[in-house]
Amino acid sequence: MPVQQPPPQEYARVVLIIILLFFLYTSPDQGAPAGFQSPHDYAAERIDRFRHALDVLNRTKWQDFSPQTADKSRFEAARYLNLTGFREADDYAWERVDAFKKRSQEFTEEATRNNGAVSDVYQNVTGIVQGKWARNTADLNGDPRPRTLNLTETSPVIDWAFRDVEYWTRNITGTEGKMMLRLEESDTGGVDVYPDTPKDPKLPIDSKNVAREIAATLTIQDESSTGDGWDMRVHGVHWPKQGVMLLTTTSEKFSGIFGLPHLTLNLEQFMSSQRLLNKTLEREVESLEKSIWIDLSNPWSSSPDSPGDATMPVPHCEYVVYVQVYPMDLSTTSLKAQLDPPSVINAIEQELRFPNGAPIPVAPSLKMSTVIFSPDCGFMLESKGPPSFVPADGTHLNGKKHEMFLHDIQKWLHAFAFVVLGQILLLKVQSKEASTPSTVGRVSLYTIAMMLMADALLFSSLSLLSATAPNLFPSALLTSFSALMSVALGVRFISAVYSVQEPERREALRAQLAAEAASRPASRPAPTPGTAPAVAPIITAAGVETTPQSAATPAPARPAEEPIIIPSDQDLDAEIAERMTAATAVPLLPTTNRPATTQPPRSTSSFGAAYIKFVLTLTFLLFLSLSAISWSVPFRTGYVHILSFTYFSFWLPQIRRNVIRNCRKGLLWKFIVGQSVLRLLPFAYFYLKEDNILFAETDWKAFCVLAGWVWIQILVLVGQEILGPRWALPKSWYEEGWDYHPILSEDNVESGGLPIGLVRAPGSPTIERVRTSEDMGSKSKKEGNTRSVDCAICMQLLEVPVVPAGVSTSGAAGSVVEMLARRQYMVTPCKHIFHSACLEGWMRFRLQCPICREALPPL
């Protein structure tokens, strides 16, 4: 019986699932709490209101809505509509509507005055424009009239989330900011503006004077708004011929779309918009009635995220948006001579939408100006630009047609794919170069991990993009695939680095433990000849290597041209790795002194742990970045700056590792310079390019800081290469490592300081080189401060400067020439001397002295 009962954790899980289900069922979208009307009743009531509003739209005439304004004489009767928001009792700021219309008219005149014929406008304005806005208070004498907005009176049956006027959302309080308008024009057909005039049947359908429905998403950014600003959806009418659009928000306290014809500038616009809206709104309301049990969404909702307009709506400011499209400058195009403007525009639009290689001029960008009026909150905004503002302050709204924008994104995504490809190639070269344990040991894990993290972030955001934007699917997929390749290669490289550096980490841990356990005698793994493993001969591509263990005998049979034996297959690497692990990891306790067979599982499991840490960090960063989207602008900018600065510190761990390991040749110069440039390129694009695809604001100062920071790190790396890894660091900061380039002085002869071969004592176990006469000549010339010895690796002559006895060595240490001269030779702790190039090449494969097989400290 107890077997069938789930263990306690199972109960917890079940409870958790029940709680989750409970939350899902009671989430606000799913229904009103008890005591409120059901969503269905609510929708039915709303449709009744729509019907009434539609009736008003059908019945009203031009100038039926002429509210009381300052200009109007007292005897002229003000007329209002029986529509929510258009009534006198609503007390909206309609006294400014005439100023709004006047300003709109001015913007239209300005756009068409010196910019060519009004017919030279794009007929399909689907696209994105952005620019700056400024508050317009020209028509106000002093403060705006105090108004009492009473939501209970305006919309009696609605349960508002709150009623206090101060907390209404979308209330723009600043004097200027940025805005963006995303226009979407569907192909639903329109109505004729002049239905009664006879038509020329030969004209193409596009040049007919029609009015069409249009919707747009307006984003207005202000100090008071969070993230990118207030997002709102506006619906309205587009007169393509004139390039004019009028859009409004619609909500329970403002029947915007139903009263829209009364906000137009002239009778023609009134007539055509009334006919269009009468037709389309009727259709819309009918379909709402049909689907009342299925679909409760509000087609004119102004909240882009929740089209349902919840049963408890949040009151927000309403907007009326007038947009004038600027005619494009066709004077430079050669086609102008052959075709009349409508055909040129038609050709451009056709080619953009259905590309088939037609010879069209370069498509001009989209430019618009706008006036925005909020009837309830009583403010008026306009796009910043001439003539009210100098062009430096703003040039109204600029942007691109949808197709051009898509094309741009695709182009840049491809460019990014190439950048990532370059990174992959560099990483490949680097991981090929660092393919032996001693070279891998110099690479900083964190430098590579930081790059990997950035690539993984790029990959996840691009996969998100390719999943959500079907139009960008191929390009985003290409780029995210190359990012994935980069991640895969990086993970492989990192796991190699990690497993090679594993003994080192364990040793550090063990040293720490040993220091703690003071009672036990410290058994530091000192590299003495006794502990150096005497193993079987190394089988290499060049044959079986049987070097004797004698310290002084150079291998005589090695060919001079081919001193370094390049491993020809992976097995050798594996063998070396194994030997390395065995040689460096001297265990503390004899019981743990197992052969290398126990190593792989341990290292893989700990790499797994590190990998999980990496993935967790990545997830955390992703979530933080996602939530950062909704932060207010200064916070978000700060976050982006901090994140990019941290990212571009990726050479710091390598510098630190160079210092700790006292090695210089961690990474290839190709890799360092290439990665720095390639990784800066996308940032350069977003920080410097004016109309970049993310609409990010340019900030060349921040970019200079980033690039400068990378440059400084590269300079430090160069300094480490030339002056030694620990230049400019006080000696007390680190424990002195082995100096491969010591100053050789005859003073040390007594203490055994000079390398074997340079000591000219008669009894030394040196093989005196039989010198040719030429050698003798050159030697005698520099007698006193240069000595010659054979390099055991290449069998060539090695000349080393030696400071004569009695001369102080401290003076010579300073000169750069002397220092570079010292870079020519390397002295091992076992007092063997070689060419630097020869020993460095050797040490890429083995950290053992080629002569006596004693362990060598890493470079």
The residues of the shown chain that bind ligand NAG, judged by CB under 6 A, are 52, 55, 58-59, 82, 124, 126, 148-150, 152-153, 165-166, 168, 171, 173, 185-187, 274-275, 278, 282, 317, 353, 377, 402-403
Q: Smaller CB distance to ligand NAG: residue 152 or 773?
A: 152
Q: Least distance (Å) from ligand NAG to the CB of residue 150?
A: 4
Q: Return the percent helix, strand and coil in the chain, to nearest 5.
A: 45, 10, 45
Subset of residues 837 to 856 that bind Zn ion, contact rule: CB under 5 A: 838, 849, 851-852, 854
Reported as half-sphere exposure (CB side, CA atoms, 13 A), residue 233 has a value of 17
For residue 4, the one-letter residue type is Q
| Choice from 494, 794, 812, 859 touching Zn ion (CB under 5 A) | 794
Per-residue tokens: 286 = 């009918």
780 binds, among ligand NAG, Zn ion, none (CB under 5 to 8 A by kind): none
Q: Least distance (Å) from Zn ion to the CB of residue 798?
A: 6
Q: Smaller CB distance to ligand NAG: residue 354 or 733?
A: 354
Return d(Cα 437, Cα 497) in angstroms, integer.
8
838 binds, among Zn ion, ligand NAG, none (CB under 5 to 8 A by kind): Zn ion
830 binds, among Zn ion, ligand NAG, none (CB under 5 to 8 A by kind): Zn ion
Per-residue tokens: 354 = 């259905």
Q: Smaller CB distance to ligand NAG: residue 92 or 412?
A: 92
Q: Least distance (Å) from ligand NAG to the CB of residue 494?
A: 44
Is residue 793 within the footprint of Zn ion (CB under 5 A)?
yes
Q: Least distance (Å) from ligand NAG to the CB of residue 195?
A: 10
Per-residue tokens: 606 = 């700990």
Q: Least distance (Å) from ligand NAG to the CB of residue 32?
A: 23
Q: Smaller CB distance to ligand NAG: residue 186 or 598?
A: 186
Q: Least distance (Å) from ligand NAG to the CB of residue 221?
A: 16
815 binds, among ligand NAG, Zn ion, none (CB under 5 to 8 A by kind): none
Phi-psi region of 662 (alpha: psi -120 to 50; beta: other; left: phi over 0): left
Return d(Cα 819, Cα 824) in angstroms, integer.
9
Q: Smaller CB distance to ligand NAG: residue 377 or 655?
A: 377
Q: Smaller CB distance to ligand NAG: residue 40 or 163?
A: 163
Closest listed residue to residue 644, CA positions, set 693, 699, 592, 591? 699
CA 454 to chain centre: 8
- Per the DSSP assignment, residues forming a β-bridge with 183 are 127, 216
Subset of residues 225 to 244 that bind Zn ion, contact rule: CB under 5 A: none
787 binds, among Zn ion, ligand NAG, none (CB under 5 to 8 A by kind): none
Cβ(376)–Cβ(93) below 8 Å: yes
- Per the DSSP assignment, residues forming a β-bridge with 213 are 237
791 binds, among Zn ion, ligand NAG, none (CB under 5 to 8 A by kind): Zn ion
Q: Least distance (Å) from ligand NAG to the CB of residue 279?
A: 6
Q: Smaller CB distance to ligand NAG: residue 276 or 576?
A: 276
- Per the DSSP assignment, residues forming a β-bridge with 238 are 212, 245
| Choice from 791, 803, 826, 827 touching Zn ion (CB under 5 A) | 791
**Cβ neighbour number for residue 91 with a 10 Å cutoff:** 16
Q: Smaller CB distance to ligand NAG: residue 124 or 713?
A: 124
275 binds, among Zn ion, ligand NAG, none (CB under 5 to 8 A by kind): ligand NAG
Q: Least distance (Å) from ligand NAG to the CB of residue 355?
A: 11
Q: Least distance (Å) from ligand NAG to the CB of residue 93?
A: 9
Q: Is the peptide bond before 355 cis (omega within 30 degrees of 0)?
A: no
Q: Smaller CB distance to Zn ion: residue 281 or 830?
A: 830
Q: How far apart are the first and last CA of the chain?
A: 67
Q: Smaller CB distance to ligand NAG: residue 328 or 659?
A: 328
Return d(Cα 450, Cα 656) in angstroms, integer.
15
Q: Least distance (Å) from ligand NAG to the CB of residue 347?
A: 15
Cβ(455)–Cβ(480) below 8 Å: no
Cβ(416)–Cβ(135) below 8 Å: no
Q: Smaller CB distance to Zn ion: residue 476 or 830?
A: 830
**Cβ neighbour number for residue 480 with a 10 Å cutoff:** 24
Q: Smaller CB distance to Zn ion: residue 424 or 856?
A: 856
Return d(Cα 94, Cα 320) in angstroms, integer.
12
Subset of residues 808 to 837 that bind Zn ion, contact rule: CB under 5 A: 830, 832, 835
Burial class (CB in 10 A: 0-12, 13-18, 19+), 662: buried
Subset of residues 728 to 787 that bind Zn ion, contact rule: CB under 5 A: none
The length of the chain is 859
Phi-psi region of 815 (alpha: psi -120 to 50; beta: other; left: phi over 0): beta
Q: Least distance (Å) from Zn ion to the CB of residue 510?
A: 27
DSSP string, 314-335: PPB---EEEEEEPPP--TT-TH
Return d(Cα 470, Cα 409) in angstroms, integer.
13
- Per the DSSP assignment, residues forming a β-bridge with 564 are none
Q: Least distance (Å) from ligand NAG to the CB of residue 205?
A: 10
Contacts with Zn ion, residue ranges (CB under 5 A): 791, 793-794, 830, 832, 835, 838, 849, 851-852, 854
